[in-house]
Chain A
Amino acid sequence: MRSHVGHTDVVWQTAWNPTKPLLASCSADKTVQLYSYTFTSPPLFSVATNISTDHTRTVRSVAWAPSGKALATASFDSNISIWEPSRDESWEDIDAEHIEWECVGTLEGHETECKSVAYSSDGTLLASCSRDKTVWIWEGVSTPKFILFIPTSKGKILVQPDAEFECLGVLMHHTQDIKHVAWHPKEQILASASYDDTINLYVDDPDDDWYPVAKLIGHTSTVWCISWSPCGNYFTSSSDDLTVRIWIRVKETRGDRWDCIKILKEHERPIYSVTWGKGQSGKDSLGWIASTGGDGKIIVWNIMGKGADIETIKLASLEASHGVSDTNSVSWCLHEGMENILASAGDDHTVRIWEVIPV
C-alpha cells in the first residue's frame, strides 16, 4: 500500500485512465492530480502533473473518456470542464507523465453543484448530474464548432458556450439532489443515484428523447454510488442506509426488469463508494466489488454464480483505510493484469493505492 499526499484538502474521487498508466484524483482544493505508475508488481506511483483547474469550488468528480484521451471534471461551481492533451502528437506515442492538459471546453447549464460526471462506453456521450435534480446528457460534436439553442428544464433557452458539446437532454426524474451517474459498460444505458433514495435507468428513444425505463426503489436512504459489473448484467449500488445492493437485469419482452438480488450490510457509516472490477478469480467469477465509506472500512467481495443465483465471498476487509478520516471513493485499476490494484481517496487529503491479494 502506498499513500500519496498531493492535495491540500479533502480528496473526493479517483479515476484510472483506460489506456495509459495514469490515475487522476480530484479535491476540494480545486485541483486535479495525475499520477503515473509502472507496470511492475507492485506498481510504483509518482506525481505526473497537477492541473489547477479554473473551477471556483470543489472539484467533486473526474472521469476519463474510454479512449483515455479526454478527462472530464465536475465541480460544485456547477460547471463541467473537458481536458485534452495540449500537444497533438498521436496519443499512442505520448509519454503519460509528460502530457500537458488544457481545458477545451466548459459545459455550463446546471444550476447548482455538479456531483458526478461519466463517459458512455463508446465515448460519444457524457452524462452529468447535480443538486438541481437534473441529469444532463451531452454529445461530443466534432468541429466546426457551432452554437446550439435548446430548451431546458425551465423551458428557457440556454446558450451553449464554445460548444464542442451539445446537450441532448435534461432528465428531471428525481425529486432530489442527484449524487452519481454511471453508464452501462457496453450499451447506452445510464443509471443515476439520488438523495431521494431511488435509482433511475434511462435509455435513448431513437425517435424521441432520453427517458427513464425504470425507477428502482429499495434503498431506504440516499443512494451514493453505482457501479456496473464488467459483463453488464448486474450493477451494484451503495447507500446511506449502510447497505450495498446488487441488482440484476432481467430481460423481458416488454423491456427489461431490474431486481435487487443481494443486500450486503457490513458498514457502520454511510457507504460513499462502490466499484465493480474484473478481479482475478478466474472466469466463473463475475468480478470483485469493493465498497467504502464514512467508517473508513474498505471491503472486497468476490462475486460468483450465474443469473439471479450469485454468492458473495468476502475477500478482504480493511479498517481505517485513511486513518481516522472518511474514505470517499474506491476504484479498481483497469489495466490488464492489475485488476487487483485499488485506489482510494480520503478526507485526510491523501490518495492511497492498495493491492488485494486473496488468501
Chain B
Amino acid sequence: MQLDNANPIVFQSAQESFRLGNRDQFILWEDEDKDYVLRDTMEDEPEPIDEQEVFDLIRSISDPEHPLSLEQLAVISASQIKILQNTVHVEFTPTVPHCGLSTLIGLSMRVRLLRSLPNRFKIDIKVKPGSHNSENAVNKQLNDKERVAAALENSALIEVVERCLSTANRRGSVVIESNE
C-alpha cells in the first residue's frame, strides 16, 4: 500500500516521566529495604491525575503506519495536554498535513483514554491548529460521540485500533531491542 508518509522523522523519546513524588522522598537514613520505605510513604495524601500521567497513557501508542510511538513521531507531547477539573484536552500534531490516518490516531487515543481514565473525565481531542489540511473535519469527527460510538462497533476498525494500542502500556519506557 502507499504510505501517507513513508519515511517520517524520528525524535528521541524523552526519559520515563520523572516525578519528585513520595517515591523520591528524602530519607535521612538511606535504608537498604526500599520496599518498606515505599510501604510507608505510599500511605500519603492522594496524587491527583495530572497531565504527565495522561501523557504516559498515550505516548507509546503505535503509529498505524510505522512501528514507532506517537511520541517518537512527535505526534503528541506532554505540553499538548491540559486538564481542567474533569476535562482532558489532548492536542496532537499529524506527521504530515495530509495525513489520512489522523482520525485513526485520534480515535486510538480516545479509546485508550476512555478505557484508562475514570469516567468522570470528559475528553476533547483536537489536532494542533494549522497542522492539518482538513483540521475541522478531523476534530469534528473525533469529538462526535455518536460517530465514535458507531466506530467502536466496527470490528475491522477496532482491530486496527487494538494494534495501535498494543504498545500503549510501555508508557514511554524505551523498547529493549536485542541489539544483536
Residues of A in contact with B (beta carbons under 8 Å apart): 10, 28, 57-58, 60, 76, 113, 115, 131, 177, 179, 195, 221-222, 240, 269-270, 272, 294, 324-326, 347
Query: How far, in Å, is A231 (CB) from chain B's closest CB?
Result: 30
Q: Is B15 part of the contact surface with A, judged by Cβ < 8 Å?
A: no
Q: Knowing A195-B140, A222-B144 touch, does A58 contact B122 (C-beta < 8 A)?
A: no
Contacts of B145 in A (CB 8 A): 270, 272, 294, 326
B133 interfacial by beta-carbon distance below 8 Å:
no
Q: Contact at B150–A294, with CB atoms within 8 Å?
A: no
| B147 cross-chain contacts in A, Cβ below 8 A | 131, 177
Which residues from 138 to 180 on chain B have a C-beta closer than 8 Å to any C-beta of chain A?
140, 143-147, 149-150, 153
B86 within 8 A of A: yes
Residues of chain A within 8 A of B119, CB atoms compared: 324-325, 347
CA distance A347 to B114 in the complex (A): 13
Shortest Cβ gap from B49 to chain A (Å): 14
Assess whether B150 is in contact with A131, with CB atoms less than 8 Å apart: yes
* A58, B120: Cβ atoms closer than 8 Å: no
Inter-subunit contact A179/B146 (CB<8 Å): yes
If the complex has contacts A177-B147, A324-B86, A326-B145, are A58 and B153 also in contact, measured as CB distance less than 8 A?
yes
Assess whether A28 is in contact with B149, with CB atoms less than 8 Å apart: yes
- Report the interface size class on chain B: 10 to 19
| Distance of B124 from chain A, by nearest CB (Å) | 9
Q: Which residues on A sit within 8 Å (CB–CB) of B140?
A: 195, 221-222, 240
Contact partners of B86 in chain A: CB under 8 A: 324
DSSP class of A's interface residues: helix, strand, loop or mixed? loop
- Distance (whole angstroms) from the CB of A292 to the closest CB of chain B: 13
Q: Give the distance in Å from the alpha carbon of A195 to the alpha carbon of B143 in the complex.
A: 12
- Determine whether the beta carbon of B153 is less than 8 Å from that of A76: yes
Q: Give which listed residue, B122, B143, B144, B149, contacts A10 with CB less than 8 A.
A: B149
CA distance A104 to B74 in the complex (A): 54
CB of A256 to closest CB in B, whole Å? 30
Q: Supply 11 further A-B pairs (C-beta < 8 A) apart from A76-B149, A76-B150.
A: A58-B150, A60-B146, A76-B153, A113-B150, A115-B146, A177-B147, A222-B140, A294-B122, A294-B145, A324-B119, A326-B122
A177 to B119 alpha-carbon distance, docked (Å):
27
Q: In angstroms, how far is the closest chain B Cβ from the Cβ of A120?
A: 24
* B143 contact set on A, CB distance < 8 A: 240, 270
- Taking a contact as CB atoms under 8 Å apart, the answer to whether B144 and A58 are in contact is no
Bound-complex Cα distance A10 to B150 (A): 12
CB 8 Å contact bits of B110-140 with A (1 = contact, 0 = none): 0000000001101000000000000000001
When distances are taken between beta carbons in the complex, the residues of chain B under 8 Å from A272 are 145
Q: Which residue of A lies closest to B137 (CB)?
A: A176
Whether the Cβ atoms of A57 and B153 lie closer than 8 Å is: yes
**A221 / chain B contacts, CB cutoff of 8 Å:** 140
A76, A131, A325 interface centre (most CB from chain B within 10 Å): A76
A58 to B140, CA, bound (A): 21
A270–B147 alpha-carbon span in the complex (Å): 14
The 7 closest A-B pairs by CB, nearest first: A324-B120, A57-B153, A113-B150, A76-B150, A76-B153, A324-B119, A58-B153
A75 to B128, CA, bound (A): 34
- Roughly how many angstroms separate A272 CA and B144 CA in the complex, as a whole number? 10
Residues of B within 8 A of A326 (CB): 122, 145
The residues of B that contact A270 with a CB separation of less than 8 Å are 143, 145
Chain A residues with CB below 8 A from B120, complex form: 324
Q: With both chains docked as a complex, state the minimum distance between the C-beta of A346 and any C-beta of chain B, in angstroms.
A: 11
CB distance from A201 to the nearest CB of B (A): 22
Per the bound structure, the CA–CA distance linking A58 and B154 in Å amounts to 11
Smallest Cβ-Cβ distance to A9: which chain B residue: B149
A-B contact pairs, 26 of them (CB 8 A): A10-B149, A28-B149, A57-B150, A57-B153, A58-B153, A76-B149, A76-B150, A76-B153, A113-B150, A115-B146, A131-B147, A177-B144, A177-B147, A195-B144, A222-B144, A240-B140, A270-B143, A270-B145, A272-B145, A294-B122, A294-B145, A324-B119, A324-B120, A326-B122, A326-B145, A347-B119
